[in-house]
Each structure stands twice: as C-alpha cells, then as structure tokens.
Chain A
C-alpha cells in the first residue's frame, strides 16, 4: 500500500510541475461554466438544480480526460523510465493503480473546483443538495471510467496522439451506447437482451440514474467493475508490450 502512495504522490506532483494542471483545470472550469449557462440555459429554466451542469460532463470528459490520460504510459515507454520503474521492488498492479489514482485524484480536484456552481444554485434557490452530492459522486465515478480506458489506450502505444484518439473513440462508444439514436439502430431487429446489454454499457444510462439522486449499487458497481476491467487490461498490455 505504501508504494501506491509513493507513486500517487510523484505522479500528482508531476501534473502540477508542468503546465498540464493549470491548462486542464482552467479549460475544464471554463467549458463546464460555458456549457451550463449558454447551452444548458441555466437561468432560463428557472429551476434550482444542477442538471444543466452535470448533463455536459460526459461530453467534457470525453475530450478532456483522454488528454490527461494519454501520457500515463505512453510517455513512460517513450522515455524508457518504465524499465527503471518496473525493476524497483514493486508489483505491476501497484504501479497501474498508483498512476490511475493520481490521475483520478487530479480530476477530483478539478471537479471540486466547480464548487462556485453549487454555491450559486444554493443562493438562487433551494436545490436538493442530496441529489447534487450524488451527481458529483456519479461524475467522479464516470471520470474514473474514462481514465481507466485512457490508461489502457496509453499502454498500447508510445505515441500520445494515437493514445488520445483511441481513448476518445472507445470513450465515445461507451457514451453513445445509451443514446436513443444508437439504441434505435438495434431495436426492432435484435433480441431484447442484446438491446439491454448495449444500453447497460452506457456511461449515460448509469450516470443519469445516479444524478437523479438514486444511488443504486448496480450503477456504482458498473463503474467500479469497468475501472477494474480496464486497469486489468492496462497491466496485461504493459506486460506484453514492455519488450518493445
């Protein structure tokens, strides 16, 4: 456990030692604000909730999180530091989890910095703060899902641009699989259980049900097991490709 913490600390410090942290946080805050007020019609709706804010999170994450995750392993392999790291007395899963957690904590910091949004809505009305807390939790879990996918894509290549594009594409598949547009393609000619399976892999479906304030264990389990799966895939790919 101690070594995971050491890795987490180093990685997190790495974000703040480079302009990555500032750029990511500023852009995340600007975009989430702009989306909420302009596209989400926060004021026009006249309702004291943060639905217009959280509704855009899957799309923000789709583009921003791959940018954060692409360097996780690609850089490590390109610089050759992976060889030094993996010959320290540490297990593969400690490294994979430590690096992932650092990126996740960093996303959590960015997400926490949207607190003025929460203050605003509380000043304007009486929102259901329980729903908002659940939504934040759902958003964080979803960010973890995107990060785990990004981690795996980053393990596939030394090239960060390729890692970015792959993560966006795979992330998009997971977002869209719950979209009516995509589901309509399947409905009518496929058996019902396939339709259910496709939509059950959707980030949107699970995120929406959490952000309604219903903390269903199944939704939490979905994100947790998704993260575990992609991290396991990351470790496997690194093990296979480290000779290259």
Chain B
C-alpha cells in the first residue's frame, strides 16, 4: 500500500478569504477517500490544487512522488480528474471528445482506439457515441466526464461529485465502477451525499471552513454520533412511565428516552453506558415483562448528525 497522494500544508487564499487552510493528508493505493463538507468548505478548491489547476498559496501535493508544482507534467499524467459539473466541449461527439483526450494523453493508433472503446463500455456510453454532447442528458454527460478521467487508466483518480445529477440506478452503476477500480488506484472523491461515503469509501474526511475537522473510516464517523450503539425499542403502548422505569433498571443502561407514540405503539431509545452491548438484556427485559415488541434494533449512528455537529455554525446557547 504505497502512498500515492501526499499533501502537505495545502493553503489557498483568494484575496483576504482563506479557502483552504493548511490541509495535509496522504492517500495510499486501494484507498477511496471521501471528501465531505458543506458547500464552500474548500473541497473543490483542494481538488483543483491537487490536480494542478490552481496554484496553492502555500504547501504542495505530490502525486506518485512527483510534485505538482515542480514536475506538473509527470504528476498530471498520473491523475484522472473529473471536474465539478463534468465539463466537455458541447459541439463534439463523445467519440471525438474521448479521442481528443486520449491524444492529449499521448495515446495513438490501435492503443487509443482500444482504450476508447473499452472505456465507453465500462461507463455504458455506446448508445450516444455519435451524438453531439450538448444534446446528451445529465447522466450521460456525467458518465462521459468519468470516461474522460479513467481513459488512460491513471494511478490516482480525483472525482468532484461523481454522482451528482444521476438517478439511483446510475448512481449505483458509478459506485460499482469506482469499487471495482479501487484496489489498484488511489481515489479521492467529493460528495455531500452521506450514503455515498458508506457505500464506496474506505475513509472519510470532513472539511469545514478550509480545515480538516475529522478523518477516519465511515464506521469511526458513525461512532461519533450521539445515537451510536443506542437501542431503539418499539412496543405496544401501556403504562409508559412504568416501562421506562423498568428499562432504566437494566444493568448497563445509562438513559432511557421516550421518542413518541403513534396510536398503539410507543418507541423508546435506550442509551448504553460507554462500551456496553445491551440489546440482549433489553430483549430479555421485554420478554419478562411480556411486552409486545414490534421492533428492536441497534442503531449504528447517523452520519448526517455527525456531519451537522462538525460543520454547522455553532448556535448561541439559549
């Protein structure tokens, strides 16, 4: 698992605004790093610096050992990049566009032809190959952008919102494609869809106001959720206070909250003491009390809750 992307102290100022403020991290082969953050957090700016489009105010990025500032051509050869919005020349056809990209990347002849047709198959573009790009749907344009990025089989893939604007089936296809490519490559993708992080990323990084606020596996992030490992129990309504008191008596239970009633059923959320696994005890308690259980489950934690906690502006205490 060699390091393929090595970023140190990346910083970008636009006038007096600091868009990216000292971001450092590394990505190794086989890793899929998800960049999360609210709009304007600096995700795209960071990607634009890694790919050599913007010159950083400070710090640098090394791609497979090549510094993007000192050896830009060598570094860029190893990157496949899908910019935000998947731009392409509107009056070209996908076939001509991909050929152009291939030629720019130094491919030619039979090799170029094979790469183009192979990539077109991977992203399912066969049906629109000879239509002007401006007439294509958003989904096709996005897939063309992806095709352009993976055409030369790069070691590093940088994808800015790869599934934005796709329908659920297309999203699934693109995620599958990313997962199949992942083992040989280092992939960085930005998204604000949290399920995407759970679906494809081996590692997630939340960026807010130009700084990395957290970096870990998606499971680590879930662990930061206040509802991580809590038990949700839904039972037929009865004496709610007695039930709550009964649940609170279980060993290892820290707190019991009533989450609401809908007609016949009442839902409780049971918070365990740190590190305790209490679902079996809760189940047993319900059986002993002969409650009619409709649902009993352990919650993994809500990523969006973690996301909000880390990135939302702090509200004044009331």
Contact = CB atoms under 8 A, between A and B. Distances in A.
Contacts of A3: 104
Interface stretch (A80-88, A106-114, A121-129, A221-229): A80-88
Nearest to A13: B96
A18 B89 CA distance: 12
Interface in B70-105: 72-74, 76-77, 79, 81, 83-85, 87-92, 96, 100-101, 103-105
Contacts of B101: 88
B241 interface: no
Given A83-B48, A83-B83, A89-B73, A10 B90 contact: no
Contacts of A242: 53-54
Interface of B: 14, 48, 51-55, 72-74, 76-77, 79, 81, 83-85, 87-92, 96, 100-101, 103-106, 148
Contact count band on A: 20 to 34
A17 B103 CA distance: 19
Contact of A17 (B53, B79, B92, B100): B92
A196 interface: no
A130 interface: no
- 7 residue pairs, one from A and one from B, having the closest CB atoms: A80-B87, A89-B76, A83-B83, A6-B103, A87-B51, A81-B87, A89-B77
A151 B2 CA distance: 44
Contact of A79 (B81, B90, B105, B106): B90
Contacts of B89: 10, 14, 79, 81
Nearest to B83: A83
Contacts of B85: 80
A79 B53 contact: no
B31 to A, nearest CB: 21
Interface of A: 2-3, 6-7, 10, 13-14, 17-18, 79-81, 83-84, 86-91, 239, 242-243
B148 A84 contact: yes
B105 A87 contact: no
Contacts of A239: 55
Contact of A88 (B84, B90, B105): B105
Given A10-B100, A87-B76, A89-B105, 13 more contacts: A2-B106, A6-B100, A10-B92, A14-B92, A17-B92, A18-B91, A79-B87, A83-B53, A86-B53, A87-B52, A88-B105, A90-B104, A243-B54
12 contacts: A10-B89, A10-B92, A10-B100, A14-B92, A79-B90, A80-B84, A87-B51, A87-B81, A89-B73, A89-B77, A90-B73, A90-B104
Contacts of B81: 84, 87
Nearest to A92: B72
Given A86-B53, A87-B53, A89-B105, A243 B14 contact: yes
